Structure 1
Amino acid sequence: MEKKILVVDDEERMRTLVRDFFRRSGYAVLEAGDGLEALERLDRHRDIGLVILDVMMPRLDGWDTAREIRKNSSVPIIMLTAKSDESDELRGFELGIDEYVTKPFSPRTLVARAEALLRRTGNGEAGNGRLETAGIVVDQNAHTVAIDGRPVELSLKEFELLTYFMENSGIALSREQILNNVWNYDYFGDPRTVDTHVKKLRSKMGEKGELIQTIWGMGYRFTAPKPQP
């Protein structure tokens, strides 16, 4: 079955370019010319596996569209923008954007980024097991997280970040290590991206967020409590 992608851009030429490259790679592609149309498409097609979202659009821009999507969906989002300001990139990550691609870009690179995201988003393909500690259960096959029996909705990057922390429990991890392993490609942006994601992850984890400890000047360490004798 073809994986379904939604391309959201007010420029028809850009939508056509992206659509054609993805179709040649074997994907089903839906299109939307603005944020409101994108939300309607997502509501009608619940099997959309990835959203490619432009920032500058009429009626509802990319930022507000992403904010609306994240209210009830963790579908992976790649944000397209003509801006290269790092503050814009951080803003995107704060909204739960999974990847950030600056125009102009290579369509082949965009497809490769999308394929990497889709491989990591479940359907039994990305995960390889179950992690459990301190009441936190990460099911990599089902791509779900529960804390003390309560389901917790995480974005793709937050899920991968928590998984990486739990797989490396007790180990001090630098921001560079986290970027290289969680973002899964050579990342040349601001390392504060890690801080932004950790802040949101801690917030969603409630009291268990305290298990992610800050190592000042270096990075973070996930420390699970020792079992009582």
Structure 2
Amino acid sequence: MNNILIIEDEVKVSEVIKAYLEKEGYKVYCTIKGYDGLNLFNKIDFQLIILDLMLPDIDGEEVCKFIRKTSDVHIFMLTAKVELSDKIQGLNMGADEYLTKPLSPRELTARVNALFRRVDSNKITILSYDNGKLKIDKEKRNVLVKGEDIILTPNEFDLLYTLASNEGKVLSREQLIQNVYGIDFEGYDRTVDVHIKNLRKKIEDSSKTPKYIITVVKVGYKFGGERDT
């Protein structure tokens, strides 16, 4: 369970946010003062801090500075300050998100969920599918099909891992190009199709009826393997 600390002096605001986050399964703690938040932070292992900048005892910016001296915990700044310079300052202090009030609790919850999905996906170094029939090792950049080591080019591996790590999501050719080749790529989008064709030959039982790399007509591609638990 991920622990979340809300440091917010508007009790009604923090109570609503807490209710939404607890429905998602998070353990949520609330304080209305910055120093109380720092004391609690030193006692409990938090994975996220939602920090208001306008606090009654100490500026939220100072709280952020104190935390960043000892921790890389994720911090969402929540504030009524809307100037671009304030946002830049907050991000430079080490905030992961700078969110301006009023903010929908549903949007905040969605951002929190997205954060932890990214964190959890980064923890996984080996993706395994269909009872180990296909294994993708992120760190070793290695792929096994039915226990056999498959040689992929760097671009083929990056394409496969990008699709697999976005399991079930349809990615356009443009999205794949940006993830694999970078935004400065000067080739043509059908380059992706060529690599996909070669990938299918290497990892699919039948490249004509692929199970893993699925074409979504007029949109792009998605990964169709069943992840092992």
The normalised TM-score by structure 1 is: 0.54
2:53 to 52, 55, 65: 55
Identity %: 35
Contact 1:35-1:65 at 8 Å conserved across structures: yes
User: Any idea what SS the aligned residue of 2:12 has?
Assistant: helix
Structure 1 stretches lacking a partner, 5+ long? 133-166, 175-229
3-state SS of the aligned residue for 2:119? coil
| Corresponding position of 1:152 | none
Shift of 1:96: 0.6
For 1:99-178, list aligned pairs within 5 A: 99-122=97-120, 125=123, 129-130=138-139
Can you list the C-alpha shifts for 1:14-48, whole angstroms capped at 9, x where unaligned?
111111111112111011112111111111002x1
CA-atom RMSD, angstroms? 2.5
What is the match of residue 150 of structure 2?
Answer: none
Deviation at 1:127, TM superposition (A): 6.1
Contact 1:51–1:75 (Cα < 8 Å) also in 2 = yes
Classify 1:6/1:131 alpha carbon distance in 2 versus 1 (closer, same or farther; 3 Å). Answer: farther
Amino acid aligned to 1:130: E
- Structure 1 residues 173 and 96: CA distance shift in structure 2, 3 A: farther
Residue in 2 that maps onto 1:209: none
Do the aligned partners of 1:34 and 1:57 also contact (CA within 8 Å) in 2? yes
Distance 1:73 1:131, change over 3 A: farther
Secondary structure at the aligned position of 1:53 is classed as strand
Query: Are the structure 2 counterparts of residues 87 and 124 from structure 1 closer, same or farther at C-alpha, using a change threshold of 3 Å?
Result: closer
Q: For 1:173 and 1:117, how far apart are their aligned partners in 2? A: 27
The Cα offsets for residues 127-172 of structure 1, whole Å up to 9 and x where unpaired, read as 663399xxxxxxxxxxxxxxxxxxxxxxxxxxxxxxxxxx879x56
Following superposition, the deviation at residue 125 of structure 1 comes to: 3.9
Task: Identify unmatched segments of 5+ residues in structure 2.
Answer: 127-137, 142-178, 186-229
Asked if the contact 1:55–1:80 (Cα under 8 Å) also holds between the matched residues in 2, the reply is yes
Question: Are 1:3 and 1:27, in contact at CA under 8 Å, matched by a contact in 2?
Answer: yes
Shift of 1:12: 1.0
